[in-house]
Amino acid sequence: MPMMTAKPYLRSVSLNREKIAGAAAYPFSIPAVRTLQTLTLHSDVTFLVGENGTGKSTLLEAIAVAWGFNAEGGSKNFNFATRASHSELHRHLGIVRSFKRPRDGFFLRAESYFNVATNIEELDGGGYGDPLINAYGGRSLHEQSHGESVLALMTERFRGDGLYILDEPESALSPMRQMAVLRRIHQLVVKRSQFLIATHSPILLAYPRAIILQLNESGFEATQYRDTDHYIVSREFLNNTDEMLDDLLGTA
């Protein structure tokens, strides 16, 4: 009998189409959902990549909510809402979990991380128990740049043995800071963590213990790092900067 392992905590995600009333309406019409069959996730890191507007963030948010995270981000203990903007997609997802639950977890949604930071300050303002901000390094996330606060989240708050769902974590990070995040991801993977990440960063995508699922008109397909548009376009621009600038700006 094969030995069972705890990871991946989140094994697969599928779309239950039977009870969808309007398949032509949002969010079921966007490519990431319209083509969704079953996503089988890597035990360490799964990357979702594709063009803007294909629905990666919408799908990621629905997966996070189906797991039990707050729609605007945070851990399962966050239940605030500044605006009810998430879709009903999470109700139609089937998720397969491990026999063992992770001890930690967090949903980082770049566009609403400000709201998570605000909610931490509001909860700490009540004066009950140990301040929550201590788990994030002890310094207000609002008193840091967005990039600094994301690094504080990953280095201070993420403890390991966790499921971490990240939506474009690189959005406020310099290339050097993206490499710091890459290192931290590996440290947490070694500590029995699993990541699901939507990203445009060719730096993050280079992480070797991962699968990359690239969205096209046929759905999500596993691809190699050097075959992604992110790598190819970045390589061509850096290796042929003058020629590409001439072409883009019409200065040839």
Count of the separate structural domains present in the chain: 1
What is the C-alpha to C-alpha distance for residues 51 and 140, in angstroms, rounded to an integer?
A: 34
User: Which residue is associated with the tokens 């500044």?
Assistant: 82
- At 10, is the secondary structure helix, strand, or coil? strand
What pLDDT, on the 0 to 100 scale, is given for residue 60?
A: 94
In the chain, which residue ranges form alpha helices assigned H by DSSP? 31-34, 56-67, 113-124, 146-152, 175-190, 229-239, 241-249
- 10 Å Cβ neighbour count for 155? 16
Report the Cα 167 to chain-centroid distance in Å.
3
Q: Is residue 5 situated within a structural domain?
A: no
Q: Is residue 246 situated within a structural domain?
A: no
- At 52, is the secondary structure helix, strand, or coil? coil
Domain holding 60, by residue range, is 10-227
Q: Is residue 53 situated within a structural domain?
A: yes
Q: Is residue 207 situated within a structural domain?
A: yes
Backbone phi, psi, residue 11, to 5°: -90, -45
What CATH number corresponds to the domain at position 76?
3.40.50.300
Q: Is residue 232 situated within a structural domain?
A: no
Q: Is residue 197 situated within a structural domain?
A: yes
Q: Is residue 161 situated within a structural domain?
A: yes
Render each residue's pLDDT in the chain as its tens digit; 252 residues. 455 678 999 999 999 988 787 667 888 888 888 889 899 999 999 999 998 888 899 999 999 999 999 888 887 877 766 555 567 899 999 999 999 999 999 999 877 676 777 777 877 776 666 777 887 888 887 888 888 888 988 999 999 999 999 999 998 899 999 999 999 999 999 999 999 999 999 999 999 999 999 988 788 999 999 999 999 999 999 999 999 999 999 986
Peptide bond into 102 cis (omega under 30): no
What is the C-alpha to C-alpha distance for residues 56 and 214, in angstroms, rounded to an integer?
A: 10
Q: Strand 38-40 to strand 45-49: parallel, antiparallel, or no bridges (unpaired)?
A: unpaired
Q: Is residue 100 situated within a structural domain?
A: yes
What is the C-alpha to C-alpha distance for residues 189 and 160, in angstroms, rounded to an integer?
A: 8
What is the C-alpha to C-alpha distance for residues 64 and 76, in angstroms, rounded to an integer?
A: 10
CA 29 → CA 14, 48, 58, 222, distances in Å? 16, 18, 12, 22
